[in-house]
Chains A and B, each alone.
Chain A
Amino acid sequence: MNEVIEKAREIITGYDGPKVRIMEVCGTHTHEIFRQGIRSLLPENIDLISGPGCPVCVTPVGFIDEAIFLATEKNCLITTFGDLIKVPGTEMNLAKARANGAKIRPVYSPDDAVELARENPDEDVVFLSVGFETTTPSSCLAVKKAKELNLNNFSILTANKSMPNAYLKLKGSADAFIYPGHVNAITGNAVCKSLKDKGVSGVVAGFTATELMSALAVTIEMLKKGEPFFVNCYPRVVKDEGNPAAIKLMDEVMELCDTQWRGLGIIEKSGMKLKEEFADFDSRIKYNIPAIEGKPNPGCRCGEVLQGHCKPSDCPLFGKICTPLHAIGACMVSDEGACSAYYQYNQM
């Protein structure tokens, strides 16, 4: 244990003030907090809530249905981040579709999907474009590259999300937010600073044990002071101005749209879709996908879990029919999903 962790640990374990609720927004934070066992250090009066910052968890059922439609009805080769493979659709997930013969291929980067399209001119390659501001530039770069290469067998199915308006929806769910470090690395800190002016507090944090512990310690110290605050606890990566080139790129290729978040419903201007001049690369337009309304399991309370309104254990499906091996809700699918983390952690 280094000195920073030791000092942070003292502050965190020694907190004896009124009950505070801290929400980590980012799924990777949830994952690392779990992996480091940080929850087990928290005194009872610190409640750490896992928010909706896992693109897998907030991707609606209908999106998976659309992907399966493209794979099975249009014989497309679906490329995707591995995260989405097990996310439940209405009838099945992508893993099951693959077992039934659909072409589903995990990739590390959208660029790899473009490469695949170039090498296989007879395949219609579709990339499942999910993610927040951190990931969206990679999709934009891929689309631009496909356009430069004049590829007519590559398109993306967008479900990209934008955080600022989602924060407003979450306002009141917690006393302070741990903002997602890599989203801020792109967007910069202006949004978080303006949230502070609206009374929403938070810190932006990195992902190592040292960074998470120091960010939590700073949050607790600032909460003690009782004033709204914003602190950049990840300055080695996050600059106030973010990454201007990435912002410009997203602006050039995509535009904001209203979008559905699994469990949260439609949030205005919280999604990203391709601009009209890139319509040739928009799978929905290219394949004329019919309106598909996904049907999540009615008992699933993922939405409330994501907003911190209920604990995973309050859901009637949790741990009974919904477990990491047989996930019903998205929060149980990935390790960083709140339900999955809660399920495994509470077995200790």
Chain B
Amino acid sequence: MENIITLAHGSGSIQTSELIDSIFKSNFDNPYLTADDAAVLSLEEGKIAMSTDGFIVSPYEFPGGNIGKLAICGSVNDIACMGAKPKYLTCSYIIEEGFPVEELEKIAKSMGETARKAGILIVAGDTKVAGKGQVDKIFITTTAVGNIVDGVNTSGSFAKPGDKIIVSGDIGRHGCTILLARGEFNIDADITSDCAPLWSNIEAVFNETKDIHVIRDATRGGVGTVLYEIAKQSNVGISINHESIPIDPGVKGVCSMLGLEPLYLACEGRLVFFAPAEVADKVLNALRACENSTNAAIIGEVTGDNVGKVILNTAVGAKTILSRPSGELLPRIC
């Protein structure tokens, strides 16, 4: 096989099937992944959750993962947040002509590994090759589906005054990692992406209690954006203790260097739970016992006043509103 992707690989020719067999099939292998036009599947009775997500990230490889791992985690975590045990996933690639086959192999390998870890089967896929310059190296879109666990009923509109807000770990690592990996600001820090599939963490919580109102994974926009979304969707206020938010010191350092707010940096392996105060400790302890959520922390609570707002309790014993970023995050000097 050639060592770069060419337009022939996307033409439906022999090269296409060669690519699929040698790279995708070997890494994703399972009985549902066939050469037919569609995968034939069965789901258990009851409700299912389904979600789709497109992934473009530059650079496509970064400390702690690559676009492949990200593409699995993203869709798995989206349905997991609705209480669904991940079952099947489809993926679609748009690859730029000239992309190294070796790199594609690395990406496929990490997709296979992450899918196995998340307990999801990759059952169908599609590959298109775009001309040079038409896409930035590689784009991946994934769709995941799974059955919702009995007795679980979560939604962004279910947060209630008195609920405790729990994050599953330190925030902003993915965004910070990507920022540094781009090399634009010449900053060096030992930070890896938090990118991880999180169904097992959610399952661990459900084993303790199913009385959870909201689960949301904080992706682009970070935890701050999730808080605003829930405040709006549930028509409640949110009160956060700034000092109790777990933040990696390196992330803090980069943020102070560039004048960025860690609450708005992207995460790819962090959950935000809204749960009644009575079960908050159970949720916290269940999370702390799991890989990727040992630093879980209660960061605040839901209030009946200040509807639609996120209020921070600050170090001087005052309250302030979490300001909302407008558009892209930019480093600032003032």
In the complex, how many residues of chain B place their beta carbon closer than 8 angstroms to a beta carbon of chain A?
29
When C-beta atoms are compared, the residue in chain B nearest to A83 turns out to be B332
Please, what's the 1-or-0 string for B222-260, where 1 marks a CB less than 8 Å from any CB in chain A? Answer: 000000000000000000000000000000000001110
Does A81 contact B333, Cβ atoms closer than 8 Å? yes
User: CA separation between A243 and B186, bound complex, in Å?
Assistant: 26
Q: Knowing A37-B312, A112-B186, A324-B326, say if A334 contacts B317 (CB, 8 Å).
A: no
Q: Is the CB of A348 within 8 A of B316?
A: no
Are B333's CB and A83's CB within 8 A? Answer: yes
Indicate which residue in A41, A86, A344 contacts B321 across the interface (CB closer than 8 Å).
Answer: A344
Stretch at the interface among A28-36, A171-179, A260-268, A270-278: A28-36
B40 interface residue (CB < 8 Å to A): no
Cα–Cα, bound, A268→B59 (Å): 48
- Tell me how far the C-beta of A66 lies from the nearest C-beta in chain B, rounded to whole angstroms: 20
Are B326's CB and A325's CB within 8 A? Answer: yes
- Write out the residue numbers on chain B whose beta carbons fall within 8 Å of the beta carbon of A213: 316
Distance to closest chain B CB from A138 (angstroms): 9
Q: Which chain B residues border A9 with CB–CB below 8 Å?
A: 316-317
Cα of A191 to Cα of B227 in the assembled complex, Å: 45
Q: Decide if A48 is an interface residue (CB 8 Å cutoff).
A: no
B306 contacts the other chain (CB 8 A):
yes
Whether A36 lies near B324 (C-beta < 8 A) is: no
Is B41's CB within 8 Å of the partner chain A? no
Q: Is the CB of B314 within 8 A of A209?
A: yes
Does B332 contact A334, Cβ atoms closer than 8 Å?
Answer: yes
Kindly identify, within residues 298 to 334 of chain B, every residue whose CB is under 8 Å from any CB belonging to chain A: 306, 309, 311-312, 314-321, 323-324, 326-328, 330-334
In whole angstroms, how far apart are the Cα atoms of A325 and B328 in the complex? 11
Q: Do A209 and B311 contact each other (CB < 8 Å), given the known contacts A82-B331, A135-B333?
A: no
Beta-carbon contact of A108 and B258 below 8 Å: yes
Say yes or no: A35-B314 contact (C-beta < 8 A), given A55-B334, A336-B334: yes
With A1-B316, A209-B316 as contacts: A34 and B323 at CB distance below 8 Å: yes
- Selected from B309, B315, B326, the residue in CB contact (under 8 A) with A5 is B315
**B-facing residues in A265-297 (Cβ within 8 Å):** none
Are A348 and B330 neighbours in the complex by a CB distance under 8 Å? no
Is B185's CB under 8 angstroms from A54's CB? Answer: no
B-chain residues with CB within 8 Å of residue A108 when the two chains form the complex: 185-187, 257-258, 331
Q: List 18 A-B contacts (CB under 8 A).
A: A9-B316, A27-B334, A34-B320, A36-B320, A37-B312, A37-B314, A37-B316, A40-B319, A40-B320, A41-B316, A54-B334, A81-B331, A105-B184, A107-B184, A108-B331, A112-B185, A340-B323, A341-B323
Chain B interface (Cβ < 8 Å from any Cβ of A): 184-187, 257-259, 306, 309, 311-312, 314-321, 323-324, 326-328, 330-334
